[in-house]
Structure 1
């Protein structure tokens, strides 16, 4: 993988386009793909994420080193997980019943939602991250490395190398990455858990993740 991996984003909504802007500003090549029903996608991206390009799902998968899934949770199954063999895949989705409604099979599943997604293709290198801050905070809270008030974001996944790739990405986006260990720990980043939607320093977030693991044990 190159020093600046090519980034593909599934989802051209507020989260996807905010990430695209930050990544382009950070010197990354970025491609987005959106819903088939999303009209004038080229025009939209040129206005809200200048410098990024629009690609078909197949083109995006083929050319990207890192794929970010930033679609509504209920649409996650429409993403071509079967094509993600060997790819670093960032699951930035959130299952949030006030928005998604209750999904019985998800409610009954003891796994974290990213473990459920990872099971769709065990050959994908799935990492949970970028889901536990709002799209508006992505740009408002980004700070240079070393800033004393820099916000931290967690990175969890079963593939250590994939976690390292995503950690570098998060640092370039303007946040302090915190390694949260295996993918099962992604539950701590989901809605209803203390890390979700809260501002934490790296030490605070690491302590919170450790506490969540103790409670889950």
Structure 2
């Protein structure tokens, strides 16, 4: 007979991902490689995911957003802020959610409360998903550095943010399974430390900073240890969000 513990362990090997762009598909590939069953949803519908599902194989399937939310213990959100209003918000209630997103004005439009620093992106996401336990990870690393640095030696560290310890533990276990060293970055209020233009955003994973600035897509990436990431987070300064253009 299965115990509750056994059931939770099985659930942790299933993950639903909303968003099939570069970040969502990158996480899906690592999850499948780590033995997870994956269900992916996007705004265009399951048929649009046929190529990705074929690539991922029998451990993957396509579905809608609600199915992705209910598929595993921790749904992953890899969608723009503007897409939140189309999500079945009530389905997130009581669930730990892993958000990978950032505020990019060129894509999301200007959001006054973010520009004024009244709230940061994670805090706004928590408001947009009432009842959900929002966590943040994978938002400070470029999409092509995710496969390049997974299972690196030394292990590449990623910050995990959240207001509930149990939620951060769940998400940290996923980050670890996908090949990274999870670092507790603190609460959602502190998550600006790894936002765009902060001291712990994507350039920290560059193999060559000058080359990264010239052509970031050509940079192969380089590991950042947990100790180094903690130093960078501690020294990070809050970005001038109102001046952000990209």
Indicate whether the TM-score tops 0.5: yes
Decide whether aligned partners of structure 1 residues 97 and 214 sit closer, same or farther in structure 2, where only a CA change above 3 A counts: closer
Tell me, yes or no, if the aligned pair for 2:77 and 2:101 is still in contact at 8 Å. Answer: yes
Which of residues 36, 48, 57 in structure 2 aligns to 1:41? 48
Query: Alpha-carbon deviations, 1:94-151, whole Å to 9, x = none?
Result: 112244343334323521111111123342111011111111111111116xx32x21
Please state whether the residue corresponding to 1:191 is helix, strand or coil: coil
Partner of 2:228: 204
> 1:102 matched to which residue of 2?
110
The structure 1 segments of at least 4 consecutive aligned residues displaced by more than 4 Å after TM superposition are none
Structure 2 unaligned segments of length 5 or more: list them: 1-7, 206-223, 240-246
Shift of 1:53: 0.8
Q: Distance in 2 between matches of 1:183 and 1:168?
A: 18
After TM superposition, give the deviation of residue 86 of structure 1 in Å: 1.7
2:175 alignment partner in structure 1 = 170
* Number of equivalent positions: 211
Paired with 2:56 and 2:115, the residues of 1 have a C-alpha distance of 35
Task: Note the alpha carbon deviations across 1:10-45, whole angstroms, 9 max, x for none.
Answer: 101121111101001101111110113x57324122
Deviation at 1:63, TM superposition (A): 2.5
Question: CA-atom RMSD, angstroms?
Answer: 2.2
With over 3 angstroms needed to count, the CA separation of the structure-2 counterparts of 1:57 and 1:98, relative to structure 1, is closer
**1:207 CA displacement:** 1.8
2:71 to 63, 68, 74: 63
Cα drift, residue 54 of structure 1: 0.5
Classify the secondary structure of the residue corresponding to 2:189.
helix
Per mean C-alpha deviation after superposition, the further-off stretch among 182-191 and 117-126 is: 117-126
Higher helix share: 2
SS of the residue corresponding to residue 126 of structure 1 reads strand
**Structure 1 contact 82–120 (Cα < 8 Å) conserved:** no
SS at match of 1:66: coil
What is the TM-score with the length of structure 1 in the denominator? 0.87
**Secondary structure, in 3 states, of the residue corresponding to 1:40?**
helix
Instruction: Give the match for residue 39 of structure 2.
Output: 31
Q: Could you say which residue in structure 1 is the equivalent of 2:89?
A: 81
Aligned equivalents of 1:39 and 1:182: distance in 2?
Answer: 35
- Match status 1:187 vs 2:192: yes
